């Protein structure tokens, strides 16, 4: 028996099998060196998948997972949605281009409904990441999307899935788990990651058409994810930022549960920004008004651009802002210039770009995407070596609130990090992730860690809520 450290806690476990996490013959021999992780270099990621650093053709990762017969199938009622297929076939694909945007997006729209539409799950967003070289083999993201088809090849469900050689761009941190694996001579990478790359946004991950056998197809797809860990002989599968319903259901299927914290603003049927301010305590309201006055005092003009209003010059400039942010904040520039152009062209009016101008010069910007009931704040940046007091708050938080009110959206998701968001009306909200660890002993160790971590996160949530800027008695229904 040995004590394995996972995160800040320890658990007594047996040394895991050294075969767990090793590459199968399909992908060639493992090339990971234990000191590689700490000396991470983007140009070397592909060496985790293939020995040569030269660009090579991706291996065929299309895997058939067989046919599954459905119970109570074969009947068709008065509507198309009442049809229940006799069986479904599961397979993985190596590029989202193997599925039409119509078929993929039909699953996305039908699964959650128009009110819960999530733009990050669409074919347009995911294909923009892939086509622009962001989520590809060379950056350690090998596409293995899981597809479910009926007996006549209609697509009934999709799962955005990647075989990964690192833990960057996920925003649910498992680096200590990898360290624990390697300290016992086992490989944590590659691992399976069910997510939207570089996007910490909650949404459905098991995306299924709305039909009578939806729950049964869900169970089959989740079982297939676990089966893939065995077929590929990888260490684990991780489902990050799923819906709360998926998170609860996954526990019954052997997945470990984890929670995190983000900051969301809730629209309480406000007619304008001032109505929102009136719900705040007097000192918080005064502070926000003072911050907003600084924008005009600096001769800055704020604009909100959508769809055709966003030109190529805007994306080129915003990319400079993005690189200024990542390069100066010890960050990683996961996204390329082409991604912004591709995404803007494909997503149309779903894109909201907030820009700040000084005269005719664009000096800062904040990228948002518009969902069915939510405005998603994603990226921010400004000119290098420039400083405009309170501009970050205006572009990222106050403009987003105004836009959500104008568009009659229920909330604004401002992402993780930054308790300063609370004083500007963004309250802590729970995020979720699910983790299946193939090795039973490490599963126990990580489970023990997560139990302790969850209690600490819930305590932090309570303390953060206690610092709410809203007046006493204001009814708030942000999830906790």
Mean pLDDT, the chain, whole residue set: 87
Segment among 367-376, 377-386, 430-439, 440-449 with least mean pLDDT = 377-386
Q: Do 158 and 273 fall within a single domain?
A: no
Q: Do 139 and 229 fall within a single domain?
A: yes
Q: Do 332 and 447 fall within a single domain?
A: no
Map residue 167 onto helix, strand or coil. Answer: coil
Distance CA 479, CA 259 (A): 12
pLDDT band at 386 (very low <50, low <70, confident <90, very high): confident
pLDDT band at 436 (very low <50, low <70, confident <90, very high): very high
Per-residue exposure over 359-388, b if at least 16 CB sit within 10 Å of its own CB, e if not: eeebbbbbbbbbbebbbbbbbbbbbeeeeb
Residue 336 located in a structural domain: yes
Residue 167 located in a structural domain: yes
Residue 23 located in a structural domain: yes
Residue 276 located in a structural domain: yes
Whether 445 contacts 6, CB under 8 Å = yes
Distance of CA 43 to the CA centre of its chain: 24
Q: Do 316 and 437 fall within a single domain?
A: no
Residue 426 located in a structural domain: no
Tokens of 438: 């193939």
Q: Do 386 and 453 fall within a single domain?
A: no
Q: Measured between alpha carbons, how far is residue 66 from residues 10, 230, 235, 437 in Å?
A: 40, 15, 22, 23
Tokens of 413: 């998701």
Whether 347 contacts 199, CB under 8 Å = no
Q: Do 100 and 210 fall within a single domain?
A: yes
Per-residue exposure over 249-258, b if at least 16 CB sit within 10 Å of its own CB, e if not: bbeeeebbbb
pLDDT band at 415 (very low <50, low <70, confident <90, very high): confident
Q: In terms of DSSP H, where are the helices of 407-473?
A: 440-466
Q: Do 397 and 444 fall within a single domain?
A: no
Q: Do 207 and 355 fall within a single domain?
A: no
Residue 141 located in a structural domain: yes
Look up the domain containing 165 and give its range: 2-258+432-462
Q: Do 65 and 131 fall within a single domain?
A: yes
Q: Do 299 and 356 fall within a single domain?
A: yes
Q: Do 194 and 148 fall within a single domain?
A: yes
Distance CA 267, CA 404 (A): 8
Q: Do 231 and 324 fall within a single domain?
A: no
Total tally of structural domains belonging to the chain: 2
Identify which has the larger pLDDT, 254 or 68: 254
What per-residue confidence (pLDDT) applies to 113?
Answer: 85
- Domain CATH for 354: 3.40.630.30
Query: What tens digit of pLDDT does each residue of 337-361 get?
Result: 999 999 999 999 999 999 999 999 9
């Amino acid at each position: 028996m040995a004590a394995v450290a996972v995160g800040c806690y320890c658990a007594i476990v047996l040394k895991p099998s050294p075969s767990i996490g090793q590459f199968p013959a399909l992908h060639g021999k493992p090339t990971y060196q234990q000191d590689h992780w700490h000396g991470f270099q983007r140009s070397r990621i592909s060496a985790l998948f293939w020995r040569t650093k030269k660009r090579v053709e991706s291996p065929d990762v299309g895997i058939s997972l067989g046919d599954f017969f459905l119970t109570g199938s074969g009947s068709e009622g008065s509507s198309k949605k009442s049809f229940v297929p006799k069986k479904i076939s599961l397979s993985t694909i190596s590029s989202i281009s193997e599925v039409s945007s119509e078929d993929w997006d039909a699953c996305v729209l039908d699964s959650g409904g128009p009110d819960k539409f999530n733009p990050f799950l669409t074919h347009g967003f995911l294909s923009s990441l892939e086509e622009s070289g962001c989520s590809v083999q060379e950056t350690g993201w090998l596409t293995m999307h899981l597809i479910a088809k009926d007996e006549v090849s209609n697509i009934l469900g999709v799962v955005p899935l990647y075989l990964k050689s690192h833990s960057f761009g996920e925003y649910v941190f498992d680096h200590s788990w990898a360290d624990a694996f390697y300290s016992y001579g086992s490989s944590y990478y590659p691992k399976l990651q069910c997510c939207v790359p570089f996007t910490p946004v909650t949404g459905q991950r098991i995306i299924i058409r709305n039909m009578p056998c939806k729950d049964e197809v869900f169970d089959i797809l989740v079982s297939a994810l676990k089966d893939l860990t065995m077929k590929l002989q990888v260490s684990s599968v991780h489902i990050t930022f799923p819906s709360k319903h998926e998170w609860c259901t996954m526990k019954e299927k052997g997945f470990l549960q984890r929670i995190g914290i983000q900051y969301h603003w809730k629209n309480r049927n406000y007619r304008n920004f001032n109505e929102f301010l009136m719900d705040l305590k007097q000192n918080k309201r005064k502070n926000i008004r003072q911050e907003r006055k600084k924008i005009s005092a600096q001769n800055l003009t704020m604009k909100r651009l959508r769809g055709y209003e966003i030109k190529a010059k805007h994306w080129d400039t915003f990319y400079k802002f993005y690189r200024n942010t990542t390069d100066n904040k010890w960050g990683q520039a996961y996204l390329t210039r082409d991604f912004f152009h591709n995404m803007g062209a494909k997503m149309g009016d779903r894109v909201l770009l907030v820009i700040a101008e000084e005269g005719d010069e664009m000096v800062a910007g904040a990228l948002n995407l518009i969902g069915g009931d939510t405005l998603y704040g994603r990226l921010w940046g400004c000119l290098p070596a420039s400083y405009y007091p309170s501009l970050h708050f205006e572009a990222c938080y106050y403009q987003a609130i105004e836009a959500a009110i104008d568009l009659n959206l229920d909330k604004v998701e401002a992402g993780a990090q930054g308790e300063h968001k609370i004083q500007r009306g963004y309250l802590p909200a729970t995020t979720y992730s699910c983790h299946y660890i193939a090795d039973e002993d490490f599963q126990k160790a990580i489970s023990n860690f997560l139990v302790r971590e969850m209690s600490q996160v819930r305590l932090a949530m309570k303390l953060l809520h206690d610092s709410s800027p809203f007046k006493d008695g204001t009814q708030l229904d942000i999830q906790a």
